[in-house]
Structure 1
Amino acid sequence: MNWEDTPEQAAFREEVRAFVRDRFPATYTPDPDAEQSLEPEDVWGYNWAVDRNSPDAARREGARAWAAALAERGWITPHWPVEYGGAGLSAMEEFILQEEMMRARVPTVNGIGAFLLGPTLLAHGTEAQRAEHLPPIARGERTWAQGFSEPGAGSDLAGLRTRAVRDGDHYVVDGQKVWTSLGHHADWLFVLVRTDPDAAPKHRGITFLLVDVDTPGVTVRPIRDIRGDAPFSEIFFEGARVPVANRVGEENRGWYVAMDALSFERAGIGATIKYEQAIARLVEHIGTPEGREHLREGWERGARQEIARRYVEMRVLYNIARYSVTNPVPGYEASVNQLFSAELHQRLARTGAHVFGRHGLLWQRRDAPLGAAFTHMRMDSVAATFLGGASEIQRNVIATRGLGLPRS
């Protein structure tokens, strides 16, 4: 397919570049030691959801100023309708906006709320829910986290056991969620709960709820990861009362709402640009005298071919991402994107390890080759093939929904 910009798209791309150049706060600079998240839309050194409440005044004000600048144009939520704070852009214009922000290495704002929950509420929410929740997301004033996985329900999400029992105009929620990305920095959660314990098949007894983190009975605890940072959390519900008005979709039909939300999650451009920049930096480093001092002895054997393969794979991923945005609700193509991206992440990390050898073991960024970028990538990539949906699940989706193969 030909992905060359139309004249209108080219003009919009230049508009975005000029906006980033002119409006990104000069005082909002990368934190060289930031490790707060593993999400594919992250930009190294930034995490807006964390930065907006940073104890560092310059970082905090920079994050809020950037959100305000984007909100003026509706560019926090560019594809949303204007009446909810969006810009009414086409899917391809939104893609270009996100692509150029990633290329400029500036952070997106309100990722989970803007790109997962917002489209889900537009598709399944009530007008009252949209009016209450969408404008604060579009202004960068309310952040969200996704409460799906549980200790016994990760890849088999339909096995979740967090229980919600109807009590008048509230649900009483008890249970636990885990691996909730940036849950300890969120204002609100969207969670899956079991409302019919006897449902068969079990995914039919699940309901989708919106939960204020400050609700009595909700406890959020950060979890440390292999890198020593806390990109996610575990969440405990003990008799938490959630209004029935916060239910999205019908009771016991939340699985279908959640599947749409996960489709939005799997269709991003961020990983593609990150991999492209990582490959470019690696090739540039290899070509310098200083860089060659850091390379493993005999690195040339097979490494050039590996780097070439990674570049080709990155271009394939770019085309998959472009294709995914042509569907209003991404389908199995989003799973193709997620699967290919996750496995490419791991292959690219191994390529870096091949090239750097013992220098690839350095963890501290200062004075390490390329700021230890590939060492950190290796740690990040451990979770890639189950973050956002395990590779086995993605293959099942591709097989059944994309290829029409039988489920058994």
Structure 2
Amino acid sequence: MNWEDSPEEAAFRREVRAFIGEHFPADYVPDHDDEHSMEPEDVWGYNWPVDRVSDDPARRDGARKWAKALADKGWITPHWPTEYGGAGLSALLEFVLQEEMMRARVPTVNGIGAFLLGPTLLAHGTDEQKAEHLPRIARGEATWAQGFSEPGAGSDLASLRTRAVRDGDDYVVTGQKVWTSLGQYADWLFVLVRTDPEAPKHKGITFLVLDAKTEGVTVRPITDIRGSAPFAEIFLDEVRVPVANRVGEENKGWYVAMDALSFERAGIGACVKMEQALADLVTYLRSEEGKRFVRADRGALRHEIARRYTEIRVAYNLARYTVSVQAGGGVPGYEASVNQMYGAELLQRLARTGASAFGPFSQLWQRDGAPLHATYAHLRADAVAATFLGGTTEIQRNVIATRGLGLPRK
């Protein structure tokens, strides 16, 4: 396939580069020591949902200035219609925008709200829901978190037990969600609840949105193996949610959720992040300081690095293929699972290669004095969760087998 830019794409790429150079706040600098999230598309040193509420005035103001600059262009939600604050860009131009932002190492804005919840509302939401929520997402004024996984119902999502009982114009919701990425920083939540406990498990589920400050909602951060808290567990104790906050029909939320998950990104951000991490590793190993720490069998290490480089190029082509499906009017199905699985396993291989490059020095955790500031020691711990974030590799393989290869479920 020929992935060269068309004249339109090349011109837009130049526009994006110029915009970043002119508008990204000079005092909004990366903080490589502060780790908040394990998401592979995050830019190292930044975490916009966290930065926007930081206690550091420079960091907080920088995050908000950057959001406003992007919002003025419609580039927080570039693929959305202009009436809701988007830019009406094609899927290919949105891909170029995201790629250039990642290559410039500047953060994207509004994460899950922009690329997952927003498109879901565009497809299934009422006019009132769109008018209330979409402009605020597009302006960077409200952040969202996804309440799907539960204790005992992560990969088997349809086994969720959070209960919602209709009471007049409200649902009364009781249950628990877990592994909610950045849930402690979210203004709003979208959750799956069981409204018909007698129905088959993939039915009787309803999709709701709710204000995170609603009475009865308790959010508790979860500390990971690195000592940071990139996600949270959420307790819902008789929380009253208006029926008007239901997205789609009652008991048909499973189908809304599956559409929502199909809006996952093509994966270009993860590709660029891994490409940059590998380039930083090679540059460091060639430096005088790097030569002091590198392991003895450099020949084998060179082969490992070459394999990782080749695999990253494969991941890039998978991302380009996925966006080409979108550009052709399709909705990525099993392609998204291929990207998720391949990218997650590649991230783990890259982390192991980078850490093992330093032999026993790969055990150093404190950044000062460690090789490459212990980047790969931290990345190795970070990557442990990659193969179950967003769906385990076992689930992704099932999707690829049944939807992509047409194999029977049994």
Q: Normalising by structure 1, what TM-score?
A: 0.98
Q: Tell me, what secondary structure is at the counterpart of 1:382?
A: helix
Within the candidate set 340, 343, 357, 1:341 is matched to: 343
Match of 2:390 in 1: 388
* Structure 2 residue identity aligned to 1:324: T
* Structure 2 residue identity aligned to 1:93: L
Map 1:139-150 onto structure 2 (within 5 A): 139-150=139-150
Preserved contact between residue 263 and residue 335 of structure 1 (Cα < 8 Å): no
Match of 1:138 in 2: 138
Write the distance in 1 (CA, Å) between the matches of 2:267 and 2:278. 19
Map 1:306-345 onto structure 2 (within 5 A): 306-326=304-324, 327=326, 328-345=330-347
Quote the offset at 1:282 in angstroms. 1.2
Write the distance in 1 (CA, Å) between the matches of 2:55 and 2:355. 35
Match of 1:406 in 2: 408
Match of 2:180 in 1: 180
Match of 1:42 in 2: 42
Write the distance in 2 (CA, Å) between the matches of 1:61 and 1:266. 27
* Structure 2 residue identity aligned to 1:316: V
Match of 2:249 in 1: 250
Quote the offset at 1:301 in angstroms. 4.2
Match of 1:372 in 2: 374
Match of 1:123 in 2: 123
* Structure 2 residue identity aligned to 1:114: A
Write the distance in 2 (CA, Å) between the matches of 1:366 and 1:231. 23
Quote the offset at 1:187 in angstroms. 0.1
Q: Tell me, what secondary structure is at the counterpart of 2:358?
A: helix
Match of 1:103 in 2: 103
Write the distance in 1 (CA, Å) between the matches of 2:216 and 2:5. 51
Write the distance in 2 (CA, Å) between the matches of 1:193 and 1:277. 40
* Structure 2 residue identity aligned to 1:308: A
Map 1:5-404 onto structure 2 (within 5 A): 5-200=5-200, 202-265=201-264, 267-298=266-297, 300-326=298-324, 327=326, 328-404=330-406
Write the distance in 2 (CA, Å) between the matches of 1:106 and 1:344. 23
Write the distance in 2 (CA, Å) between the matches of 1:181 and 1:290. 37
Write the distance in 1 (CA, Å) between the matches of 2:355 and 2:229. 24
Q: Deviations over 1:74-96 (max 9, x none)?
A: 00000000000000000010011
Quote the offset at 1:353 in angstroms. 2.2
Preserved contact between residue 266 and residue 335 of structure 1 (Cα < 8 Å): no
Quote the offset at 1:273 in angstroms. 0.5
Quote the offset at 1:270 in angstroms. 1.2
Write the distance in 2 (CA, Å) between the matches of 1:268 and 1:137. 21
Preserved contact between residue 265 and residue 388 of structure 1 (Cα < 8 Å): no
Write the distance in 1 (CA, Å) between the matches of 2:131 and 2:121. 10
Q: Deviations over 1:82-137 (max 9, x none)?
A: 00000000001001101000000000000110011011111111111111100000
* Structure 2 residue identity aligned to 1:404: G
Quote the offset at 1:367 in angstroms. 2.9
Preserved contact between residue 149 and residue 177 of structure 1 (Cα < 8 Å): yes
* Structure 1 residue identity aligned to 2:194: R
Q: Deviations over 1:246-289 (max 9, x none)?
A: 11111111111111211222533111011100111111112222
Percent of residue pairs bearing the same amino acid type: 74
Quote the offset at 1:349 in angstroms. 0.8
Quote the offset at 1:40 in angstroms. 2.0
Preserved contact between residue 172 and residue 241 of structure 1 (Cα < 8 Å): yes
Write the distance in 2 (CA, Å) between the matches of 1:40 and 1:197. 36
Q: Deviations over 1:15-45 (max 9, x none)?
A: 0000001100001011121211111221111
Write the distance in 2 (CA, Å) between the matches of 1:77 and 1:271. 19
Quote the offset at 1:364 in angstroms. 1.9
Q: 1:129 to 1:182 in 2, by over 3 A?
A: same
Write the distance in 2 (CA, Å) between the matches of 1:365 and 1:247. 47
Write the distance in 2 (CA, Å) between the matches of 1:175 and 1:348. 38
Q: Deviations over 1:182-220 (max 9, x none)?
A: 0000000000111111112x1111111001001111111
Residue segments in structure 2 that go unaligned for 5+ positions in a row: none
Aligned residues: 406
Residue segments in structure 1 that go unaligned for 5+ positions in a row: none
Quote the offset at 1:55 in angstroms. 0.7
Quote the offset at 1:297 in angstroms. 2.4
Kindly report the root-mean-square deviation, in angstroms, between the aligned alpha carbons of the 2 structures. 1.0
Preserved contact between residue 322 and residue 335 of structure 2 (Cα < 8 Å): yes
* Structure 2 residue identity aligned to 1:398: I
Write the distance in 2 (CA, Å) between the matches of 1:6 and 1:97. 14
Q: Tell me, what secondary structure is at the counterpart of 2:267?
A: coil
Write the distance in 2 (CA, Å) between the matches of 1:206 and 1:227. 35
Moved over 4 A (4+): none
Preserved contact between residue 13 and residue 96 of structure 1 (Cα < 8 Å): yes
Write the distance in 2 (CA, Å) between the matches of 1:28 and 1:289. 31
Q: Tell me, what secondary structure is at the counterpart of 1:363?
A: coil
Write the distance in 2 (CA, Å) between the matches of 1:91 and 1:69. 21
Quote the offset at 1:329 in angstroms. 2.4
